[in-house]
Chains A and B, each alone.
Chain A
Amino acid sequence: MDNTDRSLIDAHCRGDRMAFAELVRRYGGSVLGYLVRMSGSREQADDLFQETFKRVHEKAYMFRGTQFKSWLFTIATRVAIDSLRRRRRLRLVSLSQNVDCADGTCEQLNTVAVTDGSCEPSAEVVMAEQKEQVRRAIEMLPARQRAALVLAYYQQLSYREVAEMLGCSIGAVKTQMSRALRTLAQRLPDISGEVK
């Protein structure tokens, strides 16, 4: 951790709102990216983002370490995993986008909307579908496997850093990663265009 992070935390503990805002801006992008991939939903990630920084705000005075980023991601991981557990208990179904689909005709209609025109399904549509498949594949991973994958692959952290954040050994992280990747190997779409 550089001195600026430490000084910002100290300033925040003294009640300096600007310091906290600076911390949010500095690490907001990476934390939000992490939470989007963990939750699979931008809306939910926004909520988790706020919850993460709320906990940072509340626990700032307890921060004694030297790696603020690690500490921040540890909190974000806990928030995300807690949220995933809650979601497992209570299956949330977003009704906002499917209000008019109660009769089940929407999917059909959307299909028509795509193919009804003179143009062929564009690469953009195919890519969107592939992205959705990747998102679903990651979403089906158990929480800790997902956290290990997102931190190591997308956040490009070392296995040692991931272990610190998840509070486990490097070996455990590698095991989680290995399991996650083996599962994904079966579920990820082949974007090269080959038929599986």
Chain B
Amino acid sequence: MKRHLTERELIEYRFKLASDSRIEKAAEHLSRCGQCRKHLEKLVRRFAALDLLREEITVSDDLVERTVEQASQPVQRRIIPFRKSAWLSAAAAVLVVGLLLLLADNLSEKVTKKPEFAKEPTGIEGEIKFEKDTEITRAERLDKGVPAMKTFAMAPSKEETRVGKALGGAATSGVTGGIIPEQPPFAPASAIELVTLPRRENVQLTIYNSADLTLVRERRNLTLKKGWNWLQFMWANTLIDPTSLTLEPLEQKDKVEIQQLVFPARLRELGRWLIRSEISGQVPFEITYFTSGLAWRAFYMGTLAKDEKTMRLEGYVRVDNGSGEDYENAQTRLLVGTVHILDQIAELAKRQYPYGSPQVIAPGEVSAHYIITDSSFMKYDTLNVSGILSGDLYGGLSRKEIKKEGLSEYFLYTIEGTETIPDKWGKRLLSFEANDIAVKSLYKYDEERWGTETIRFVVFTNDEKHNLGQTPIPNGDVKIYSQADDLGFLSYVGGTSIKYIPVNEEVELNLSPARLVTVKPKLMDFKTENYLFDSKGNVSGWDEVQTWQIEATNTRILPIEVEITRGFETAYWQMKFGEKDISYEKYDVTHARFKLNLSPRSKKTFAYTVRTYYSEREQSLRESMTKETAK
């Protein structure tokens, strides 16, 4: 190669981007061309600047925690394998069945209907209607409050089927002369004959965030017939804990008895209750169970006034439903606090068969673990605290109220009225808003905690004096803005995560490093002295004396307060100052803290000398302090 190498060729040679032959040629040229070698060296020096950004970046525990927390929702899998042959077979089968039904329909028009169907009780109308609605869309079903995935079904017994009352649903198993046989039927009739029950009358959700646990209490009116009745409960594609299922009649308790809950072999994700009823007619039931996949989180938006002396704080609650089940018109309650449970509900829900029984909880532990199953749950004192809610995701509904109740170590928020939360949807609600909260802007410098950066904090107290204090504030993310101009535009100041703030507790919001406020400590002098020696002439004690100069700069247009913490790694230290107007407070045994007030756009410098004592000199410090105390 006679010509000189271009910059591109040099780069490709340096970073091995060219082909082997071209790299070889370039190397050969470089071996005999000084000018190109110099050019290459210059490029290498230039690219060395890239190494300035090669510093080690570590992930904070907080970030890991937030990331893991975010992924706390169970993994939802939806794998729908598409097999051409299977789909074609299914389509063919549907066609055949459709044709057969058409034929049967034509034939049946010519036949007189059986009188038994006409005599069905009125309570069954809803059931029959729902059967007809099997083709309605998901949205329509939601409007009508029809469950999307989980279904209930009543099965007549085999004997009932034989006498032609399949549609009745509430079967009387061999009731002759009004006497119910003592032996219950072994199993319900085929699932093909099952009839879906009317929709939920109402449903209540209590969401325990900390445990990914939600108690669902729903009320349904079941139409029973005198005798044995089967009720089928299915939880396919949901995260319901099958071991937690309970069914209880709300009326006629002396005449309706829940005999057993069975999980039939070879049938996945369904259970059947056997109910013995001495009456015919509609009976309200409460069905309770635990599910996972519902979660709520609180988050907040704070807006600082221009002078940063007051703040407006708005709290929001967002409820997310990933449970696999639509909850329509549900009364929703949110619980703050940590609940201990024996099993992860999501794990239980994924079991192929719900082996084990609801009695897995030891009797003494029931109240501690599933406290909300206790019907006395609502007896706790209400604090009569309310906040104003507004908005919902898709309904444009009226503003609602969230009631807050104290439950000893827990705290319960109840959303006023009902909310519809379809599966995979989230809903955001305004929890509270407070104006003119007095806040303090504080800057902190502590090398042991935050390195060489000055961290900005906003400080306020959750009490009435600060227009808060009506309820504890649940943990959540806070974003702080400040008014950037008179037109009301906001600028983002910083954000952080807060932990649960009890009433009357002060909170410091860490708003990340501040660039406009800096603190620079400089070591000006260092020496060791006052050596002590033992009998063998070895050093047995000494002092270290360090002189530090601290320079604090405020380039903001507002006055600020800076808190500077200095550590000495030993409990034996004494401090002296050059100027008299500087003082410190002993933060703990090894740390001193300075507080400075800086006016706008100003700088303050002060110096201190710290003497630290080591080994036997520690004893001398103790003695001198004891003497001073005695004086």
Contacts and interface: CB of A to CB of B under 8 A. Distances in A.
A and B held together in a complex: yes
Interface of A: 12-15, 17, 20-21, 24-25, 28-29, 32-33, 36-37, 43, 46, 49-50, 53-54, 56-58, 60-61, 94-97, 99-100, 102, 106, 109-110, 113, 116-117, 127, 130-131, 133-135, 138, 153-154, 174, 177-178, 181-182, 184-185, 188-192, 194
Nearest to B558: A100
B49 interface: yes
Q: Is the interface of B mostly helix, strand, loop or mixed?
A: mixed
A61 B78 CA distance: 10
A53 B71 contact: yes
B493 A110 contact: no
Contacts of A49: 59, 63, 67
A77 B59 CA distance: 18
B378 to A, nearest CB: 32
Given A95-B491, A102-B484, A117 B551 contact: yes
B599 to A, nearest CB: 14
A102 B485 contact: yes
Interface in B63-94: 63-64, 66-68, 70-77, 79
Interface stretch (B343-351, B387-395, B616-624): B343-351
B113 interface: no
B515 A181 contact: no
B556 interface: yes
Interface residues of B, number: 58
14 contacts: A15-B347, A29-B56, A29-B58, A56-B71, A58-B76, A61-B77, A95-B491, A96-B494, A100-B516, A106-B555, A109-B555, A113-B518, A134-B52, A189-B49
Contact of A138 (B53, B66, B601): B53
B201 to A, nearest CB: 33
A95 B79 CA distance: 45
Contact of B516 (A20, A97, A153): A97
A113 B602 CA distance: 9
Contact of A94 (B492, B551, B603): B492
B68 A21 contact: yes
A133 B50 CA distance: 10
Given A36-B57, A100-B557, A191 B45 contact: yes
Contact of B64 (A13, A25, A174): A25
B54 interface: yes
Given A32-B59, A61-B77, A20 B71 contact: yes
Given A50-B66, A61-B75, A113-B555, A188 B58 contact: no
Of all A-B residue pairs in the complex, the 3 with the closest CB atoms, nearest first, are A95-B491, A57-B71, A28-B59
Interface stretch (B7-15, B166-174, B425-433, B502-510): B7-15
A95 B492 contact: yes
